[in-house]
Amino acid sequence: MFYKKTFLSLLILIFPLTSVLAPPVVNASVQPGQVLVKFKTTTGDKITVFASVHNLTNLSPSNRLSKSNYVLFQINDNLDVNEKVLELKKDRLVRFAQPNYVFDALKKAKTRELTKDRFMSKEWWLYNNGRIGSAGSDLGIANVWSKENKSWRNIPIGIIDSGINLKNNDLKKNILKGYDFVHGTGKTMPDKEGHGSFIAGLIASRVNNKLGIAGLSRLNKLKIMPLKFNFTTDEATEAITYAKSKGVRIINASWGTTDFDQALYDSIKNFDGLVVTASGNDGKEHTENNKFYPCDFDLENVICVGASDASDQMASYSDWGVNVDLLAPGGEENSPLISLDIGSNKYIEAIGTSFSAAFVSGAAGIELAKNPNLSPLELKNLILTSVRIKEFLTGKVVTGGILNIGMLIEK
């Protein structure tokens, strides 16, 4: 089932165990009547005159996008978005103009509510003894926990998503103050969508507290910064700029679009850190005619992640291709993941490449906690050269392997 939003809230595949697994990806639409404009110069007077000449209303009176020289406008004449973009591109003040893209989100479908007990025995992605899937088909987390040190840094991970459940006792102590770019407040609780909460729980749930699930850091070195958005280009670029201003060096972006988005491309390119993205849940190869962004952006600071199952196979729904770097656990119908729902202390099961990306974000955070002076490219290379190689993945993903945090921590 798809959930229409501005970005492709990718990869929030949270399915009932009996549902159809991989719904088709729908081409991204645009926010009706809105255009994003990047100016060569952005003085207030020039923008005011520009808006008047082109029958536009400035939707960013507080100049929220000014740091990246973007301004969001409402169209006030009878031209559709594409016609208005063509008109604006001819203006000598404009560097470029584009629609405010709306991405398709994969809707989270709730399954049965699980109990409030600790579910470590079900977390095959942390330690797999063969009871679920194949022994050793996991992240090697035991090796990480044996080496974690109190001297390691606390690392914030910015999750640009639907908001984070701030009430769950398994997570709330590991949440930093973030921002809601939908309503313009510091309140980042989700409205109806639990996608961001599920991702955050996989990364940063507290370990050995006898509640729910265990996250990736035994010593709670991973901290979540909620960056709530409504899956639109303008809010995504604002969130990236905000994260950069707060010193965040890892962003999880489990969403996307089939349309190339120049504003999003520029924002990620200018981010001084690593952006972890999901490959998509359509079960197809990314080719020249089948792209998914930001996964397929040709940027050094992007890692794109596909999904593996509990037997170290590629998940049936996972996309793959020339820009998909590696796989990480995403689950299958018979071996789903477990994490936070939007209720106070509720847990649900889910599968999808959204959650594969979460594990790579967490891996990046653990490595950065240990080695805080790594550059984004150095961090990326360490992750990609620490995978568990699988011959069948040759030609499917760049590394030919599956995320192994236990091996990463040895480097």
In-domain check, residue 249: yes
Last residue of a domain, one of 74, 102, 130: 102
Q: What is the pLDDT of residue 32?
A: 87
Segment holding 45, helix H or strand E: helix 44-53
Do 67 and 196 lie in a common domain? Answer: no
Q: Could you tell me which residues are beta bridge partners of residue 106?
A: 2
In-domain check, residue 9: no
In-domain check, residue 23: no
Do 258 and 328 lie in a common domain? Answer: yes
The single residue listed with the structure tokens 């972006």 is 253
In-domain check, residue 20: no
Do 65 and 123 lie in a common domain? Answer: no
Alpha-helical regions (H) of 181-226: 195-204
Rounded distance between C-alpha atoms, residue 102 and residue 335, angstroms: 32
Q: What is the pLDDT of residues 273-284, one digit of tens each?
A: 999 999 999 999
Q: What is the pLDDT of residue 397?
A: 98
Q: What is the pLDDT of residues 29-53, one digit of tens each?
A: 788 889 999 988 767 778 889 999 9
In-domain check, residue 81: yes
Q: What is the pLDDT of residue 112?
A: 44
> By CB neighbour count within 10 A (0-12 exposed, 13-18 middle, 19+ buried), where does 250 fall?
buried
pLDDT class of 116 with cuts at 50, 70, 90: very low
Residues 6+ apart with CB under 8 A from 158: 178, 225, 227, 239, 243, 246, 248, 250, 251, 252
Q: What is the pLDDT of residue 105?
A: 55
User: Strand order in 155-161's β-sheet?
Assistant: 179-180, 222-228, 155-161, 250-253, 274-278, 302-308, 326-329, 401-402, 388-389
Question: If we measure between CA atoms, which residue out of 358, 379, 287 comes closest to residue 324?
Answer: 287
Do 169 and 33 lie in a common domain? Answer: no
Q: What is the pLDDT of residue 66?
A: 58
> By CB neighbour count within 10 A (0-12 exposed, 13-18 middle, 19+ buried), where does 17 fall?
exposed
Do 157 and 279 lie in a common domain? Answer: yes
In-domain check, residue 13: no
The single residue listed with the structure tokens 């790594």 is 374
Q: What is the pLDDT of residues 94-114, one digit of tens each?
A: 999 999 987 765 443 444 444
Domains of the chain: total: 2
Question: If we measure between CA atoms, which residue out of 111, 112, 79 comes closest to residue 15?
Answer: 111
Question: What's the CATH code of the domain at 294?
Answer: 3.40.50.200
Do 228 and 162 lie in a common domain? Answer: yes
Structural domain containing residue 399: 112-408
Do 136 and 62 lie in a common domain? Answer: no
Q: What distances in angstroms separate CA 68 from CA 39, 42, 234, 237, one per listed residue?
A: 10, 10, 11, 8
Do 274 and 395 lie in a common domain? Answer: yes
In-domain check, residue 130: yes
Question: If we measure between CA atoms, which residue out of 280, 347, 343 comes closest to residue 13?
Answer: 280
| Residue 234 DSSP SS3 | helix
Q: What is the pLDDT of residue 364?
A: 98
Is residue 256 within 8 A of residue 277, CB to CB? The reply is yes
Angle at Cα 233 formed by Cα 24 and Cα 288, nearest 5°?
50
Rounded distance between C-alpha atoms, residue 176 and residue 226, angstroms: 7
Q: Cis bond leading into 294, ω under 30°? A: yes
Phi, psi of 107 (to 5 degrees): -65, 135
Do 74 and 146 lie in a common domain? Answer: no
Task: Choose the weakest-confidence range: 2-16, 58-72, 311-325.
Answer: 2-16
Question: What's the CATH code of the domain at 88?
Answer: 3.30.70.80
In percent, the amount of the chain with pLDDT more than 90 equals 71
> By CB neighbour count within 10 A (0-12 exposed, 13-18 middle, 19+ buried), where does 182 fall?
middle
Q: What is the pLDDT of residue 224?
A: 98
pLDDT class of 20 with cuts at 50, 70, 90: very low
Do 131 and 241 lie in a common domain? Answer: yes
Q: What is the pLDDT of residues 349-377, one digit of tens each?
A: 999 999 999 999 999 999 999 999 999 99
In-domain check, residue 22: no
The chain-wide mean pLDDT, for the chain, equals 87
Last residue of a domain, one of 102, 137, 159: 102
Last residue of a domain, one of 59, 75, 102: 102
Do 132 and 206 lie in a common domain? Answer: yes
Do 198 and 270 lie in a common domain? Answer: yes
